[in-house]
Amino acid sequence: MAYSSTIIGRKHEQDILSSCIESNRAEFIAVYGRRRIGKTFLVKQFFGNTFDFYATGVYKISRQEQLRLWQEQLAKYSGEKCTKPKDWFEAFDQLRMYLETLKGKDKLILFIDELPWLDTPKSGFIRALDLFWNGWAAERRGLKLVVCGSATTWMTNKLLADKGGLHNRVTRPIRLAPFTLKETEEYLQSINIAWERKDVLDTYMILGGTPFYLSLLRQELTLWQNIDELFFSRDAVLKAEYNFLFSSLFSEATLYRRIVELLATKLMGMTRSELLEQLKIIDSGKLSIALDNLVKCDFLRCYQAFGMKNRNMLYQLSDMYTLFYLRFVKNYHGMNEHAWSNMEEGKRNVWAGYAFEQVCILHINQIRSALGISGIANDVCSWYYRNKEQSAQIDLIIDRSDKAIDLCEMKYSDNEYELKKDYVEWLRRRRDLFREVSGTKKTLRLTMIASAGIKQNMYASALQGKLSMEDLFL
């Protein structure tokens, strides 16, 4: 198919939307993902705003106000004066009667944005939507109902996992993920920011692949000047974003913030049982739901330790914006509006090393491609070992079905990384310890992903895999 020139990336999502449009059956499409990820933009640009009806929920207003706005939209599209509906059952009935007047159209495109915000307390919204879909819309060939929502707990629990009439009624769920590095580069170029890839990488390490955050960058400023303005200036936009981000996404925002703020102090990650103990909460199932939602919204990654499948899963904070905010912004109370530009290099380097590791893990598909193992079955995990005498950990392991394992080391630096004798010996000792403890018989490959590449010297041959920042842009 021909992809929209106004949409950066999102090819898979456009393929799904295209197949929905081409099908003759009624389609119920739910687009969800974290706030600011571009859900509304994708739908509006893909359909070119050619909707037969469009309405949007508004954050924290009453049911009566939501119904009034719905009435205004219905009047706009129908061209008829509409009475204000007394409840959501009447509102959807009015929508049905209007749509039935459009008899000559093969396709009917309905878009309801920020669907969760329409479901105010005791509003009856979800059951009215249930009746509209199951009682009429699902039988209308060519009707396409597209809904969006940033409130992930609502979208996953009340819509996608509804136990009532909407159970399994969504025909095409689409979870919108952050941009990759390549897509971030393409987006920045589309807004006339032509930075070198090192700056694009640094941008990603701070803002992640969230389109709205990237849209705030100003082309006339350097990256560091932009970060000062967005996080440390008097009216810094992204300093105020953090609290609203969680309250708009999750119904129990306090618990979600506590989880991510605890994980920000435990960079390797924590198990569910460790989180329960540290958070001092009762094991009622709420933590599992919160962790699942945070993973679905790309705030956390869930991974396993080598050799421990489906046991002691580790949760690790992986959202780049949140990592940066909690490390440098949340507890900063100074008056220096150029705090990032004037940051001590040592503090910046410690953060950068960890942030680069997360970027690499988020681009595991690109790493597989660069290693030439895209077509080989493989598992991604980590490994850690501790006893009284020694400890070791490997943050990224690719366990391959071709009887090899890549033990990956990730290094961030401004210049080519130069291997030294003592460091190579340390890598080999850690490799040998991994073999001894794990008991694996597979070939162990020392692989390094260095942001600026690896300097060729007499020790570089100790690595079986050598990747650079460029490979992450595949």
pTM for this predicted structure: 0.93
Task: Read off the tokens for 78.
Answer: 């129908």
Q: Sign of torsion, CA 437 439 444 450?
A: negative
The tally of CA atoms less than 13 A away on the side-chain side of residue 308 is: 15
How much of the chain is helix, strand and coil, in % rounded to 5?
Answer: 45, 15, 40
pLDDT per residue, tens digit, the chain (474 aa), is 556 678 999 999 999 999 999 998 999 999 998 889 999 999 999 999 899 999 999 998 999 999 999 999 999 999 998 899 999 999 999 999 999 999 888 899 999 999 999 999 999 999 999 999 999 999 999 999 999 998 877 888 889 887 788 888 999 999 999 999 999 999 999 999 999 999 999 999 999 999 999 999 999 999 999 999 999 998 899 998 998 888 878 877 899 999 999 999 988 889 999 999 999 998 888 899 899 889 988 899 998 888 776 567 889 999 999 999 999 999 998 889 999 999 999 999 999 999 999 999 999 999 999 999 999 988 998 888 888 888 888 999 999 999 999 999 999 999 999 999 999 999 999 999 999 999 999 999 999 999 999 999 999 999 999 999 999 999
User: What is the reported pLDDT for 150?
Assistant: 85
d(CA 52, CA 56): 14
User: What is the reported pLDDT for 168?
Assistant: 85
Sketch out the chain's domains with CATH numbers.
11-175 (3.40.50.300), 181-302+314-359 (no CATH), 363-472 (3.40.1350.10)
d(CA 293, CA 150): 12
- The DSSP string of 108-130 is EEEEEESGGGG--TT--HHHHHH
d(CA 44, CA 49): 5
The tally of CA atoms less than 13 A away on the side-chain side of residue 7 is: 22
Task: Read off the tokens for 457.
Answer: 């010297």
User: What is the reported pLDDT for 312?
Assistant: 73
User: What is the reported pLDDT for 63?
Assistant: 96
List the Cα angle 115/118/123 in 5-degree steps. 135
- The DSSP string of 20-69 is HHH-SS-EEEEEE-STTSSHHHHHHHHHTT--SEEEE--TT--HHHHHHH
User: What is the reported pLDDT for 311?
Assistant: 63
In whole angstroms, how large is the CA radius of gyration of the chain? 25
